Amino acid sequence: MNAIEIKNLSKNFGPKQAVCGLNMTVPMGAIYGFIGENGSGKSTTEKMICGLIPTGGGSIKLYGKDYTDESVRAKMGVLIEAPGCFPGLTVFDNMMLQAENLSIPDAEQEVIKVLKQVRMEGAAGNKYKNCSLGMKQRVGIAMALLGNPTLLVLDEPLNGLDADGMRIMREVFADIVADGKRSILVSSHLLGELQKVATHYGIIRHGKMMVEMTADELDASCRTYVALQSAEMNRTKMLLGCKYSRVEEDEAGYIRVYDLTTPEEIVTYLYENGICVTELYTDKIGLEEYYIDLMKGGK
Amino acid sequence: MENTMRFAKVSFAGRIKSMLKVDFRRMFKSKLFYILIACALVIPILMTVMMSMMDGSVSVNPQTGEETIMQGPENTWQNIGTLPGEPLGGDEIFMMCNINMAFMGVAVFVCLFISDDFRSGYAKNLFTVRAKRGEYVVSKTVAGFLCGALMLIAYLIGSVLGGAIAGLSFELHGLNAGHIVMCMLAKICLMLVFVSIFTLISVAAKQRAWLGICGSLGGGMLLFMMVSMITPLGSTVINVALCAAGGALFAFGLGAISKVVLKKTSMV
């Protein structure tokens, strides 16, 4: 059984097709990184999963049940766009409202527990409107964690978080999926951060799923490259460009030669042409580059 | 590892109880609620006392030279309903400004209460974990109804206090305390009609509070004049039954429409 199973989902906003025949599978126990450009249909899909906007067609199943099923929905945690808090109430009061909505027994203890989890226990008495952006985001995440949810749907949860906040999030995510049954659907533009936690990926474009893969599959399909620096960078680049199909200079000032795992060949070739390599390493492209490649239409 | 998940079902009673608990908690923590109750208490006192002080004063129209003698209230209960033998709507002074203003006050409360849910994003949290739109409508209607009922009671207390301070008559002109109780009960039951209308308009307006308030005040005004006719001071159990039936009818009918509106539209 999958945590989320979407078949042929569609949604139109007037003449604009936001989601178009989307198929998506989030396995149980997965941290599913949902990636796409702005306006690609990520948030719309998430809102439909959460029942916040009516679907335009297709089916959504959560743990094998229809997405409108009360019992499944009661075990969902959600953070979409901004946390839903009343500005005039304190963080604690806002949390208590959601705890009561979820009929959590011993709500106060549960609220304190999740606030501690996101290191916000010290700000529980602050009015929500006086919280900083990062604090608000933490409150939103804490709210989503209330009641030990089986399925978390998080839209850009990492926005506004500091380094410590991101580390906490990674720990929280790992804790949640540790039992192999609970799942997280998380969309984020911070692909580097997402790559540290995600076990599965789905890349959406123009409302359609382009590719779904596991982290291992991504790793296997990511291109390897040799990065190097030399005393004569321009000549090196020109020489390598004549011999290899894809040679690029990266932001750090290294020349990258793709789809090559043996650096000896390059070193020999450059040495024969009178160029001395000063620094060299081999690596694989990350999720971010894979995604950019995919968006460009590359492999 | 077992590849299934079991989810506990929450009963309707459990769900509605938790939703009402949240709404009551919010209502009793809201400044607006206390402001409205305070207004309902203070307005009749100020109005009764000030109008009594102005009783007998003469105003002259500068253009025609015509003199008008201001007539203050004679009876405390004019604040509440029409005395027997008087034209519907009561004394001229209390024609519009009487206990029935609470029906308009509650419009502001319901609209802001509901629009706050959508503006703050609380509706997203709620509707993700509570899929039933009908329960939301029931909860908001009950909260609005309670606020309205408390406003009516506050206005009654304010009227009695105002009458006592101004030294007005408490003469019931052939009526008795039972009639006043029935009149109040009828108004409270009728409050359900108004709250159902305001709830429908507010869920349609969502975060646009201004639209909800304008629509509710406009819609409320259409029925406003009817209130004094249906709930005179000499109300009997028949008036109460009629108002209760109307309230139930509107609450079910408009509640069902509100539910459809919520189901068919976006919550964000």
User: CB A81 to CB B263 under 8 A?
Assistant: no
Q: Is residue B6 part of a domain?
A: no
Q: Is residue B242 part of a domain?
A: yes
A104 touching B (Cβ < 8 Å): no
Q: What confidence tier does A203 reach under pLDDT thresholds 50, 70, 90?
A: very high
Q: What confidence tier does B92 reach under pLDDT thresholds 50, 70, 90?
A: low
Tens digit of pLDDT for each residue in B146-200?
A: 999 999 999 999 999 999 999 888 888 788 889 999 999 999 999 999 999 999 9
Tens digit of pLDDT for each residue in A167-182?
A: 888 888 888 888 888 8
Write out the H or E segment, with its range, that includes residue B133.
helix B133-166
Cβ within 8 Å of B, A 58-77 = 63-65, 68-76
Task: Look at strands A255-258 and A277-284 and give their pairing.
Answer: unpaired
Q: Residue B60: which residues within 8 A CB-CB, separation 6 or more?
A: B66, B67, B68
Q: Is residue B9 part of a domain?
A: no
Q: What length does chain B have?
A: 268
Domain spanning A222-296, CATH class = alpha beta
B63 touching A (Cβ < 8 Å): no
B69 touching A (Cβ < 8 Å): no
A127 touching B (Cβ < 8 Å): no
Percentage of chain A lying above the pLDDT 90 cut: 34
Instruction: From A74, A34, A84, select the one nearest A201 (Cα to Cα).
Output: A34
Measured in Å, how far apart are chain A's first and last C-alpha atoms?
31
Tell me the chain A residues in contact with residue B120 when contact means C-beta distances shorter than 8 Å.
84-87
More reliable by pLDDT, B46 or A245: B46
A129 touching B (Cβ < 8 Å): no
Q: Is residue B8 part of a domain?
A: no
Q: Residue A125: which residues within 8 A CB-CB, separation 6 or more?
A: A90, A91, A92
Measured in Å, how far apart are chain B's first and last C-alpha atoms?
38
Fold agreement between A2-219 and A222-296: no
Which of B27, B116, B128 would you mutate first to test chain A, the one with the most A CBs within 10 A? B128
Q: Is residue B4 part of a domain?
A: no
Every domain of chain A and the residues it spans: 2-219, 222-296
Nearest to B124 among A80, A87, A150 (CB): A80
Residue-level pLDDT at B1: 47
Least confident residue range of A268-277, B33-42, B155-164: A268-277
Give the mean pLDDT of chain B.
87
Give domain A2-219's CATH superfamily.
Answer: P-loop containing nucleotide triphosphate hydrolases (3.40.50.300)
Q: Is residue B3 part of a domain?
A: no
Q: Is residue B94 part of a domain?
A: yes
Tell me the chain B residues in contact with residue A87 when contact means C-beta distances shorter than 8 Å.
120
Domain that includes residue B63, residue range: 14-264
For residue B13, give the chain A residue with the closest CA. A103
Cβ within 8 Å of A, B 91-120 = 116, 120
C-beta separation of B144 from B113 below 8 A = yes
A181 touching B (Cβ < 8 Å): yes
Domain count, chain B: 1
- Asked if residue B247 has pLDDT above 90, the reply is yes
B13 touching A (Cβ < 8 Å): no
Q: Is residue B24 part of a domain?
A: yes
Tell me the chain B residues in contact with residue A65 when contact means C-beta distances shorter than 8 Å.
7
Q: What length does chain A have?
A: 299
Please give the C-alpha separations between residue B228 and each of B91, B96, B184, B193, in angstroms, as whole numbers. 12, 10, 12, 14
The rounded distance, in Å, linking the Cα atoms of A217 and A200 is 9
